[in-house]
Amino acid sequence: MSDDPPATADAARWQEQHERARAEVRGRYLEHLAAVFTEHGISDPDQLARVAIGALFDWRDADTGDPCMCGCHPRLGSHDVHDSGFDCPCAKTADQRRRDRSQWWAGIAEFWESPEGRLLQEREAAQEVDLQVWLETQPDVVVSSHGGLCPEQWEGVVDGHRFYFRERTGDWHLELERCTGGSSGWAVPGVVVEGRGEMEKIAHRCWDIIAEGATGADGDGDNPVQRAQFIVDTIRTHLARQTCTHGGPDTGAFGDVLGDQPRWCPSCGARLNGATTP
């Protein structure tokens, strides 16, 4: 569970879940502190643990009494990260960490063999077939790679222009190669051979971010075919706006009908006269 509240209608439910999880973590740290105090022979360790937890973690607004969320105060561990801190790898030996990794990989393999995992693989395979079928109808579109979750990434070519799409944690951006011929230069890679720096010719990245946004807000697709269509449409709209003169006969005709100059170009949809891009 993230510590950042969502800006949605689910805020009240998030707050309830957050407070419940915080109370559970607080109780576990109380037990932990009480056990430590007992080991050191301190009388009434439970009471001392409650005082210590309150002094360390319960910072309140002087006017409202609400919990202060400022990062300057120490915080209790998040319940969904390393079991609130009680299962952090820092407290484990190398053998224990290796065993945990083996169990983690075994859990992943077990999931893919489960009915749910098999169903997911079948759905992804069917979506990949649909994507390849769609690409066969798009002679000017090449998808060289795609996939992933954190992040999701796409690379390929649209109408002779290389692109790169990346989505992570709800935000995406789309890059287009600006220098189609590529460029390169000389640089010192930081390797010294026999006491002298060696120059190395490297390729320069020559790309522009042409669009970015939040997932779900711009019709960016719920499956690979829709995602690919969104990427292609976004690139072609961008390219059309780069070459459009916004002064064709359609612009004048619209102006005559409206009695004023149009706010958007009827040919490419680009913003005109300070209007918000549709």
Is residue 198 domain-shared with residue 256, that is, in the same domain?
no
Instruction: Give mean pLDDT, residues 137-155.
Output: 92
pLDDT, residue 253, reads: 58
Helices (H), 9-147: 11-39, 45-57, 94-113, 115-136
pLDDT at 74 over 60: yes
Domain that holds residue 42: 11-86
Asked if residues 74 and 56 have their Cβ atoms less than 8 Å apart, the reply is yes
- Would you say residue 101 lies in a domain? yes
pLDDT at 269 over 50: yes
> Tens of pLDDT along 194-240?
556 566 665 666 888 999 998 877 778 889 999 999 999 999 999 98
pLDDT, residue 160, reads: 92
pLDDT, residue 131, reads: 97
Point out the domain boundary residue: 137, 157, 173.
137
Q: Is the peptide bond before 67 cis (omega within 30 degrees of 0)?
A: no
Place of tokens 């740290």: 29
Is residue 34 domain-shared with residue 72, that is, in the same domain?
yes
3 or 170, higher pLDDT: 170
- Would you say residue 71 lies in a domain? yes
pLDDT, residue 21, reads: 85
- How many Å apart are CA 124 and CA 234, to the nearest integer? 24
- How many Å apart are CA 64 and CA 113, to the nearest integer? 53
Place of tokens 């995602």: 227
The H-or-E segment that residue 197 falls in is strand 196-197
Is residue 222 domain-shared with residue 264, that is, in the same domain?
no
4-13, 14-23, 127-136 — which one is most confidently predicted on average? 127-136
- How many Å apart are CA 35 and CA 49, to the nearest integer? 9
